[in-house]
Amino acid sequence: MSAVATAPAAPAPATGKPLPPISYKAPIAYTAVAAVALLLFGILPASGKQTAFTVSTSTDFFQIERFTVPSKLTAIVLCLVALGLSAWTWQAARTRRKVGIWLPAVYAVALILALLTWAVAGKNQALPLTSLLQGSLFLAVPLVFGALAGLLSERSGIINIAIEGQLLAGAFLAAVVATITQSAYLGLLAAPIAGALVSLLLVAFAIKYIVDQIIVGVVLNVLVVGITSYLFSTVLSDNAATLNSPPRLPTLPIPVLSEIPVIGPVLFRQTALVYLMYVVVIVLQIMVFRSRWGLRLRAVGEHPKAADTVGIKVNRTRVWNTLLGGAVAGLGGAFFTVANGLAFGKEMTGGKGYIALAAMILGRWSPKGALAAALLFGFADNLQVVLGIIGTPIPSQIMLMTPYVVTIFAVAGLVGRVRAPAAEGIAYVK
Amino acid sequence: MSEATPAPDKPTGSTAPAAPSRRDDGLEARAQGALREMLTSSWLVTVLAIVLALVISAVLIAAADPEVQDAAGYFFARPGDFFSAVGSAVGGAYLALFQGAVFDPGANTVARQIRPITETMTWSVPLILAGLGLGIGFRAGMFNIGAQGQIILGAIFAGYIGFAWDLPPVLHLLLGVIGAAVGGAIWAGIAGVLKARTGANEVIVTIMLNNIAVYLVAYLLTLTSFKREGSNNPISPVIGENAAYPLLLGSQFRLHLGFVVAILAAVFVWWLMNRSTLGFAFRAVGSNPSAARTAGMNVNRVYILVMVIAGAFAGLAGSAQVLGTEKVLTAGVAASFGFDAITVALLGRSKPLGTFFAGLLFGALRAGGFAMQSRTGTPIDIVLVVQSLVVLFIAAPPLVRAVFRLPSPGGRGNAPAAELSAPVVKEAAA
C-alpha cells in the first residue's frame, strides 16, 4: 500500500499492451462535492456573519487568543481550495498519474473547516478547535484498535466481522478485572485476553470446521452480545459495586510535549491506552510492510498456495494472526469501560466494531490508512456532540449518518479502488 | 480434515462406500444404509445442534443462579443440594420458556392457555419474511446483512401510507404493504446496484445502510409530518384502521393476517427458486458466477434483482410490525429482527420451508423469553445465546457429529460443512 502512495509519477512506459480507459469517476466526485459545498456554505448563506474559534485550553502554557473570521468569505475561500484540488485530480487522471494521500486529506480538511465555519456562523460561542480534536482522537481509539484487528486477520486471509464482539468482550472483561483488582491497568491487561478468546472461536470454526467466515463472525457477535448482556443482567447487576465499577484510567500528560499549543493537548495529554495506540499503529505499519513476519502474513492472505509451497504454514499463520488481532481489538474494548471509568453496560459498543471494519476498508488494509479513517469517523462523532452543544442548523441525526455515507462512497470506488487481500474468506485446504 | 471427526463407531471399510442410492445391494447393506442416512441427515444434526445449544445455555443459567452458587459453596458436603438447585433453576427457566411460547396449562381460560402459541406465530412473522429474503441472497451468493435497514425503510413507507393517507378498506392495506415492499427494495437495491456497477462489497454497504436507516427513521420522527401531534416523543400517529392487517383470531389475540402473508411468501419463494427461470439464474450465479456469465446470464442484473427481491421481503417484514403488531412507527420498530433474520435464514439453510420453521422456532424463543424473564427472572438475553449457538453448531456438522459420536456421511468429515459456506466462498473467489 505504501508503494502506491509513493509511486513515482512517471508516465506508463510504452509497451505493446493498450492502456485501460481513463476513469474520471474520482475527479467528477471531487468536483461535485466541492461545488455543492461552495453553494451551501459559501454562496447561499447571508453575508455579514462572524465565526469565532478558540484554540487554547485554559490550562495551556502558551495562550492563544480567541479569533474571529468573516464566515462567508472564509467558507468561499476554503471551498475554492477544494475546487482547486479537484482540478488537480482532473489533470492527474488525464495524465494517468496517481495522486498522493495528501490530496484527499487536504481536500477533506478544507471542506470540514468550511462546514464548521458555516455551522457556527453568527453564534456567540466560539468553536473549541483543540477540544474538538482531542475528543475526536479519543473517540477514534476503539475504531483504530478494531480496524487494526481486522487488518491483522484479513491480511492473513480470515475475514473478521467479529470485531464488534471482540470489542464488547474486551470491554466486559476489562471492567470486571479492573473492579476486582481496583486497578485500571490490570483491566487493560485483561481486555486482550477476552478479545483473543473470541478470535479463538472464530478460527476454530473458520479453519477447523471450514464454516464461512462471515457467518461465523456475524454469529459470534450475537453470541458475545448474548453472553455479556446475560451476565450483566444477572451477576453484574446483583454485585455492581464489587464487579462492575471500574476505576478510570488516569490521564498522563507527557512533560514538555503536552505544552505545545494545539497539538500538545491533543496528542500528549491522553491516557496510557492512547499512547499504546500510537505504538501499535507505528509498529504494525513497519512490521506488516517491512518485516519477514509481515511478508509471510501478506503472502498467506494473497496466495496461500504459493506461501505453502515455500514452506510457510498457512493455517498456523492465520490462527496466530487472528488471535493477535482479537487481542488488539480486545484492548480497544477497554476504551468503553476503564478508559472512560464507566461501568459495563449492555451492548455498550453500539456498532463501533462495524465502523472499525469500515475504517479498515477505507484505509485500504494498511495501519496508517486505518488510523486516518478512524480519525475521520471519530471526528464526525465528536463534531456532532460539540455542534449539539453550540446549536447548529444541521440535525444531529444527519451528522451521525455522514460517516456511513462517506464509507459507502469510498467502498463504491469514488475515493479510489479498494482491493481486499486476494485469498480473503477462502479456507485453505491442502 | 478427517482427523476433525474422531468417529470410533464408524462402519468398517467394506460398508463405507455403500451409498444410500445403490439399491441392488443386499438387504443388510440397505438397512445399514438407511440407518446411516438417518444418522447423517441434516435434520438430525439440526435437532442435535438445538439440544447442544440448550445444554450450554443451561450451564449459563445455572451458573448465574444465586441458589446454585450457594449450593456450590458446600458441593462436597451435600452434592444433592447442588444438583437439585441446578435442576430447579434450569428446569424452571425452560418450563417458563415453553409455557410462554407454546401452551400454558396454568391459565384460567382456554384463550389464555393457547395465547402463547399465537404470540409465537406473531413474533415469527417478521423473522420469516426477512429470513426468506436473506435466504434468496445467500443462495445467490450475496451476503446481505442489511435486513435491519430494509425492515426500517419498509416500516417508514408502510407507516407513512398508514397514518397520512385516508383510503377505503382493502385498498389502504394493499397500498401500505406494497409501499413497504418498495421501501425495502429501494434500500437493498442501492447495495445491489453498487455491487453490480462498482463491485462494492455488499457486506460493507448493507452494514452502512443499516446505520443510515437507524438515523433516518430517528430524523423523520422529529419532523412534523411524521410526529404525533402534541407529543414530544419520537412516535408517529396510530395508523388508520383500514391500513391495519385484520386480526385472524379476534381481538383476544394479536395474531394478524401477516402470518398468512408469511406463508404465501414462503410458497412464492419456493416457486421462485425451484420452478422459475429467474430462480435458476439466482442459484447458478450463487454456485459459480463465472460459469453463469459464460452461460450467457447477466450476472450484474442478477445481483440487482436478488437484492431488490430480498429487500422487498424485508420491507414486508417491516409492514408486519407497523401495520400488524405495533400499529405505530417508532425508532425501535425493527427491534433486532433484521439481525435475528440472518440466523433464521442460516438455520433454515436458506430454503423456504426451513426458514419458515426456523422463524417459528426463533419466534417461540422470543415469545417464551419474555415469559421466562417475568416468571423466573432469567434475562431474555439468554435467548440470543441459544440462537447463536444453534447457528454455529448447524454450520459445523462435523463438530456436532463429533460431540454425539455419529458417523460422518460418505466417510469425509468436511463435506457438509462446505454446503453452507459454498456459495459465499465461491463468490469471493470469483
* Helix-then-strand count for chain A, H and E: 18, 5
Query: Are B312 and B130 contacting, i.e. CB atoms less than 8 angstroms apart?
Result: no
Task: Kindly state whether residue B379 falls inside one of the protein's structural domains.
Answer: no
Chain A residues with CB under 8 Å of B429 CB are: 426
Q: In whole numbers, what is the pLDDT of chain A averaged over residues?
A: 85
Which is nearest to A243 in space by CA: A175, A195, A335, A334?
A: A175
Task: Kindly state whether residue B146 falls inside one of the protein's structural domains.
Answer: yes
Query: Are A219 and B392 contacting, i.e. CB atoms less than 8 angstroms apart?
Result: yes
Q: B371 Cβ partners below 8 Å, 6+ apart?
A: B96, B97, B99, B100, B101, B116
Where is the domain boundary, B290, B325, B350?
B350
Where is the domain boundary, B334, B350, B366?
B350
Please give the tally of structural domains in chain B: 2
- Give the model confidence (pLDDT) of B104-152 as tens digits: 888 888 888 999 999 999 999 999 999 999 999 999 988 888 999 999 9
Q: B42 Cβ partners below 8 Å, 6+ apart?
A: B349, B397, B416
Query: Are B131 and B301 contacting, i.e. CB atoms less than 8 angstroms apart?
Result: no
To test the contact with chain B by mutation, choose from A168, A202, A219 the residue with the greatest count of B C-beta atoms within 10 A, namely: A219
Q: Does the pLDDT value for residue A56 go beyond 50?
A: yes
- Asked if B149 and B8 sit in the same domain, the reply is no
Q: Does the pLDDT value for residue A302 go beyond 50?
A: yes
Q: List the single residue in B200, B211, B417 with the smallest CB-CB distance to A404.
A: B211
Min Cα–Cα distance to chain A from B213, Å: 9
CA distance A113 to A79: 9
Higher pLDDT, residue B313 or A69: B313
Q: What is the pLDDT of residue B9?
A: 42
Query: Are A354 and B207 contacting, i.e. CB atoms less than 8 angstroms apart?
Result: yes
Region B299-306: mean pLDDT is 95
Q: In whole numbers, what is the pLDDT of chain B averaged over residues?
A: 85
A408-412, long-range: CB < 8 A, 24+ apart: A408/B190, A408/B194, A408/B200, A408/B205, A408/B208, A408/B209, A409/A29, A410/A361, A410/A362, A411/A358, A411/A361, A411/A362, A411/B194, A411/B200, A411/B201, A411/B204, A411/B205, A411/B208, A412/B194, A412/B197, A412/B198, A412/B200, A412/B205
- Asked if B54 and B173 sit in the same domain, the reply is no
- Asked if B178 and B264 sit in the same domain, the reply is yes
B370-376, long-range: CB < 8 A, 24+ apart: B370/B100, B371/B96, B371/B97, B371/B99, B371/B100, B371/B101, B371/B116, B372/B93, B372/B94, B372/B96, B372/B97, B372/B100, B375/B92, B375/B96, B375/B99, B375/B100, B376/B92, B376/B93, B376/B96
- Give the model confidence (pLDDT) of A311-321 as tens digits: 999 999 999 99
In what helix (H) or strand (E) does residue A251 lie, and over which residues does it extend? strand A251-253
Say whether the ipTM exceeds 0.85.
no
Q: A13 Cβ partners below 8 Å, 6+ apart?
A: none
Task: Kindly state whether residue B41 falls inside one of the protein's structural domains.
Answer: yes
Task: Kindly state whether residue B362 falls inside one of the protein's structural domains.
Answer: no
Min Cα–Cα distance to chain A from B167, Å: 32
To test the contact with chain B by mutation, choose from A172, A229, A411, A415 the residue with the greatest count of B C-beta atoms within 10 A, namely: A411
Q: Is A15 exposed, middle or buried (0-12, 13-18, 19+ CB in 10 A)?
A: exposed
Q: What is the pLDDT of residue B41?
A: 64
Determine, for residues A361 and B204 on separate chains, whether the beta-carbon distance falls below 8 Å: yes
A419 CB near a chain B CB, below 8 Å? Answer: no
Query: Are B134 and B147 contacting, i.e. CB atoms less than 8 angstroms apart?
Result: yes
Q: What is the pLDDT of residue B38?
A: 55
Q: What is the pLDDT of residue A116?
A: 83
Q: A148 Cβ partners below 8 Å, 6+ apart?
A: A280, A281, A284, A325, A328, A329, A360, A367, A370
Q: Does the pLDDT value for residue A166 go beyond 90?
A: yes
Chain A residues with CB under 8 Å of B350 CB are: none
| pLDDT band (50, 70, 90) for residue A97 | confident
The Cα angle at residue B212 between residues B209 and B217, in degrees rounded to 5: 120
Which is nearest to A147 in space by CA: A298, A401, A372?
A: A372
Q: List the single residue in A211, A229, A398 with the smallest CB-CB distance to B395.
A: A211
* DSSP β-bridge partners for residue A53: A67, A127
- Give the model confidence (pLDDT) of A106-147 as tens digits: 888 888 888 888 887 877 777 888 888 888 898 999 999 999
Query: Are A366 and A274 contacting, i.e. CB atoms less than 8 angstroms apart?
Result: no
To test the contact with chain A by mutation, choose from B1, B61, B187, B204 the residue with the greatest count of A C-beta atoms within 10 A, namely: B204
Where is the domain boundary, B333, B350, B367?
B350
- Asked if B319 and B189 sit in the same domain, the reply is yes
- Asked if B149 and B255 sit in the same domain, the reply is yes
- Asked if B26 and B160 sit in the same domain, the reply is no
Q: Does the pLDDT value for residue A427 go beyond 70?
A: yes
Q: Does the pLDDT value for residue A157 go beyond 60?
A: yes
Q: Does the pLDDT value for residue A29 go beyond 70?
A: yes
- Asked if B189 and B272 sit in the same domain, the reply is yes
Query: Tell me, what amino acid is at A193?
Result: I
Q: What is the pLDDT of residue A53?
A: 80
How many pairs of residues across A and B have Cβ atoms under 8 Å apart? Answer: 158
- Give the model confidence (pLDDT) of B324-381 as tens digits: 999 999 998 888 899 889 889 988 888 999 999 999 999 999 999 999 999 888 899 9
Which is nearest to A387 in space by CA: A42, A124, A116?
A: A116
Q: What nine digits make up the cell of A371? A: 488510523
Q: What is the pLDDT of residue A371?
A: 93
Q: Does the pLDDT value for residue B292 go beyond 60?
A: yes
- Asked if B307 and B219 sit in the same domain, the reply is yes
- Give the model confidence (pLDDT) of A206-245 as tens digits: 999 988 888 899 899 999 999 999 999 988 888 888 889 8
Region B202-213: mean pLDDT is 89
Q: Does the pLDDT value for residue A10 go beyond 90?
A: no
Range name among A25-39, A58-72, B100-114 with the lowest pLDDT average: A58-72
Q: B171 Cβ partners below 8 Å, 6+ apart?
A: B242
- Asked if B329 and B184 sit in the same domain, the reply is yes
Q: What is the pLDDT of residue A203?
A: 95
Task: Kindly state whether residue B371 falls inside one of the protein's structural domains.
Answer: no
B401 to chain A: closest CA residue: A209
Chain B residues with CB under 8 Å of A425 CB are: 424-425, 428
| pLDDT band (50, 70, 90) for residue B418 | very low
Query: Tell me, what amino acid is at B407?
Result: P
Region A267-289: mean pLDDT is 93
Q: Could you list the residue range(s) of the whole structural domain that residue B156 is in? A: 121-350
Determine, for residues A427 and B425 on separate chains, whether the beta-carbon distance falls below 8 Å: yes
Q: Does the pLDDT value for residue B408 go beyond 80?
A: no
Chain B residues with CB under 8 Å of A413 CB are: 198-200
CA distance A282 to A342: 28
- Give the model confidence (pLDDT) of B211-253 as tens digits: 899 999 999 998 888 888 888 888 999 999 899 999 998 888 9
In what helix (H) or strand (E) does residue A53 lie, and over which residues does it extend? strand A50-54
Which is nearest to A203 in space by CA: A168, B207, A195?
A: A195
- Give the model confidence (pLDDT) of B12-45 as tens digits: 444 444 444 444 445 556 556 665 655 556 788 8
Min Cα–Cα distance to chain A from B307, Å: 16
Q: What is the four-CA torsion angle of B316, B320, B323, B324, rounded to 10 degrees? A: 160
User: What does the DSSP 8-state code read for residue A50?
Assistant: E
Q: What is the pLDDT of residue B68?
A: 86
Q: List the single residue in A205, A354, A358 with the smallest CB-CB distance to B396.
A: A205
Say what the pTM is: 0.84
Range name among A367-381, A398-412, B145-159 with the lowest pLDDT average: A398-412
Secondary structure E strands in A102-221: 127-128
- Asked if B51 and B159 sit in the same domain, the reply is no
Query: Tell me, what amino acid is at B329?
Result: L
What are the residue boundaries of the structural domains of chain A, listed by start? Answer: 22-125, 140-368
CA distance A168 to A24: 42
